[in-house]
Amino acid sequence: MAKKDFSFPTRAGKHSSQAHVGLPDGSYEEELGRHGFFGPATHIYHANAPTDWVNIEGDCKPRALDLNKAEVGGVHNRQLVLNNRNCEVYVLRNPNGQDACYYRNADGDEVHFVHQGTGVLETDLGAIEYKAGDYLYIPRTMTYRFMGKDEQFRLIIQNTNALYGQPDRGILGHHALYDPAVLRLPKLEALEVPKPTEPNGQWKIAIKRAGRWTGLYHKRPPIDTIGYKGDHLPFALDIKDIRPVMSHRAHLAPSVHTTFVGEGFVICSFVPRPLEEDKTCLKVPFYHRNVEYDEVLFYHAGDFFSRDNIKPGWMTFHPTGIHHGPHPKALKNQHSKERTDEYAVMIDTRQYLEVDQDAADACEWKDYWKSWMEG
């Protein structure tokens, strides 16, 4: 039998009739919402900011990682940062540009976000030119190789044992968020005959399965496609081609910025947009305690309006159960700007994420949780 959520709208004390608009003087609004902002919700109006803590003991706390300090090298230049049973998040930093061999992921689809670097992605179905700011979708078990022209810095998000999809645009229409015509598909004619990857004249494919790597060697180039047909292809999407959903009268939930839908998680894109015009509404993200989703933000470029001391190449992690929202300075200055100027990638996961200890040791700003404390 289908489950229906309990619903009994009521109100008490000082409150606003419209979410995120006209807050009672001196109050701090929190949204206690279910199903990732799609389900039942209660708005709580606090006398003090919910992030007004003085100490946190334990691992349920906001964390920040400077991925510019991530290890260069490791297993195929990749360092695991976060993981759960649905997804794995890696940072790849390769100063040499080109991959040393071909790759094939048998554990799931991959989305690569290019933070830094240009080049050509070679796949079974052709080549795609890429640049900083591109999302690159690579289907599970597809053979590929990145032929970078300069230093590479990419975020890799694996959809474990599942197929990526796109959000249902509903009443917004087929061309909302981005027109499918902006997707860049592989060009078969752009593939070049590659040189061997191995000193003995062979070609290597590194296959990832069950988290372990296998080396597969060929005496001829592993990509020798002469033709294909179908609708399951790799593609590139420039984050600058994403047209955000906006409201000039109320701050919208971050879920409206969903770009990829994985199994048990979503990837969202934050891009520059005009801020809300209504002088009584919040212009910064509202406080929430991540009721059912761990939240991750990777900062790509621009001025990050709601965060202090965060630079491009950083990642923040806000786990389920503890509040987060705008830093005090951002909240105080929210009406001083008319638009945002930021590019960022958000990952929201239904299952708890684990922070890789090696990544934390190399990259973590351990006092990040203190950044909400004033004075």
Domains observed in the chain: 45-50+247-369 (2.60.120.10), 72-239 (2.60.120.10)
| Residue the block writes with tokens 């309006």 | 305
Cβ atoms of 325 and 68 within 8 Å: the answer is no
Residue 86: predicted pLDDT: 98
Residue 82: predicted pLDDT: 98
Rounded distance between C-alpha atoms, residue 172 and residue 165, angstroms = 17
The parts of the chain modelled with pLDDT lower than 70 are: 1, 305-306, 308, 374-375
| Residue the block writes with tokens 């349920």 | 60
Residue 306: predicted pLDDT: 65
Rounded distance between C-alpha atoms, residue 33 and residue 328, angstroms = 22
Instruction: Give the closest residue to 93 by CA, choosing from 148, 33, 25, 48.
Output: 148
Cβ atoms of 183 and 166 within 8 Å: the answer is no
How big is the chain, counted in residues? 375
Query: 67 is written with which tokens?
Result: 């991925």
Residue 305: predicted pLDDT: 67
Rounded distance between C-alpha atoms, residue 180 and residue 229, angstroms = 19
Rounded distance between C-alpha atoms, residue 277 and residue 131, angstroms = 34
Residue 94: predicted pLDDT: 94
Residue 373: predicted pLDDT: 84
Instruction: Give the closest residue to 308 by CA, choosing from 328, 291, 293, 292.
Output: 328
Rounded distance between C-alpha atoms, residue 319 and residue 240, angstroms = 28
pTM over 0.85: yes
